[in-house]
A and B are shown apart, each in its own frame.
Chain A
């Protein structure tokens, strides 16, 4: 018996410049067994890499893409300008419906 689903939500949803929030029904929690953060939502789970978790945890309903990139740049000054990476990841997260 299968749960195989084809996701049609592949249309690109452009990322806006306003405040970002986790989408309704989404939450992040740390999992001891997996040793990482996971993103949970209705009937779904995604294991987050360290950097993905780091970025998503800044999504708080207040901050914008620019604020979040600035925060990451503050946190990791030795990594050069992370703005493009952060934006790229948030675009994917937005297109997947994880953030709104």
Chain B
């Protein structure tokens, strides 16, 4: 989310209090098998996917709390036949609705019907700019259809974000990707360098790019942005392992972001479900208001009273909120620790060791694809990986 400041005479105050962003993960079903999926590795063992009526209630309750941006995601949200019903209600409620899709399950007619239902924007993800590589990463033949669907999205009159997930094997194609985005008339391009949670953590040794690759990609992204200016905006999600300060994860825990999983679990971020010692509330048994305002889970890391050193006395704590709680847990076993990406963390060497480990991993190491079978098989393995 981008928050704007304006010159002093017309200043805009960044929003803080209400859950501005509701991310509705409508289903974990997905025809793709991307090895960096942000869904939890153990998704196959989760509870039953919620029905239309329950989702409609979630949309109404969150909107009443002040939610403005609605992400319709998954899995693949187009799998749901009631998507148009949900979008229609979102429109009536005054959400800005964003469909986050692989494009699989879309056709020109569905794009038009979603437009008629009032959907505001569609983000289409690509795995690569090259058909074979795209389909290899996706685990299915998808590229040609994605290109067609990106055109259908634009033809239906939507603003379109193209999202390219970047990692070691496809970063060298960045120019091709940006050329593809120009060709498809994307309004925005998101260059989302893989972040290491869930499936991506499982495959980190094979996905983490080198520093040289990252710097080269930044140069290319800057060059294209300078050239394109008003035509297409490019956002580059920085791979934080190569930073020396942590990212302000989710703009702070319980600050703006509310995620509801297919089975109704309410989370402050995509990866939080892995954290031990939490009982995450469920929208089927608690109101959105209770969840957001009074639940222990959403209050645990709110503000900065929970911080330990070096965060507690750090002048930058209001800027980065101590980084990412899930990343802190994954590296150190303590979700309240300083995100070890920070070079003030005494455990920064753990991140550097992960970088070295990836550097020495060859392409012969098999990639683990996201599918129900691997979900069952690797749930245990991930628990070991995270300390």
- A residues whose Cβ falls under 8 Å from a Cβ of B: 1-9, 11, 13, 24-25, 27, 29, 31, 33-34, 38-49, 51-52, 55, 85, 88-89, 92, 96-97, 100
* A89, B7: Cβ atoms closer than 8 Å: yes
Which of A1, A6, A24, A40 is B326 in contact with, Cβ under 8 Å? A1
Give chain B nearest CB distance to A61 CB in angstroms.
16
Q: Look across to chain B and name the residue whose beta carbon is closest to the beta carbon of A50.
A: B10
In the assembled complex, the CB of B221 is this many whole angstroms from the nearest CB of chain A, namely: 6
5 contacts between A and B (CB under 8 A): A2-B237, A8-B222, A39-B4, A40-B68, A46-B4
Interface string of B311-345 (1 = CB under 8 A from A): 00000000000001010000000000000000000
The interface of chain B, by Cβ under 8 A from chain A, is 1-4, 6-7, 9-15, 18, 20, 38, 65-66, 68-69, 71, 94, 96, 98, 120-121, 123, 158-159, 161, 187-188, 190, 195, 197, 221-222, 225-226, 229-230, 233-238, 240, 247-251, 257, 269-272, 324, 326
Q: Which residues of A contact B121 (CB under 8 A)?
A: 25, 42-43
Contact A34 B18 (CB under 8 A): yes
Q: Which residues of A contact B240 (CB under 8 A)?
A: 2, 4
**Are A33 and B161 in contact, with the CB atoms below 8 A?**
no
In the bound complex, CA of A96 to CA of B229 (Å): 10
Most buried by A among B96, B221, B251, B324: B96
State whether B6 touches A92 (Cβ < 8 A).
yes
How many angstroms from the CA of A73 to the CA of B98 in the assembled complex?
37
**CA A70 to CA B14, docked complex, whole Å:** 29
Closest to A54 in B: B10
Contacts of B197 in A (CB 8 A): 1
Please tell me if the beta carbons of B9 and A51 are within 8 angstroms of each other in the complex.
yes
Chain A's nearest CB lies how many Å from the CB of B188?
6
Instruction: Kindly report which residue of chain A lies nearest to residue B9, judged by CB atoms.
Output: A85
Determine the chain B residues whose CB is within 8 A of the CB of A44 once the complex forms.
1-3, 69
Bound-state Cα–Cα, A13 to B247, Å: 28
A11 close to B10 (CB less than 8 A): no
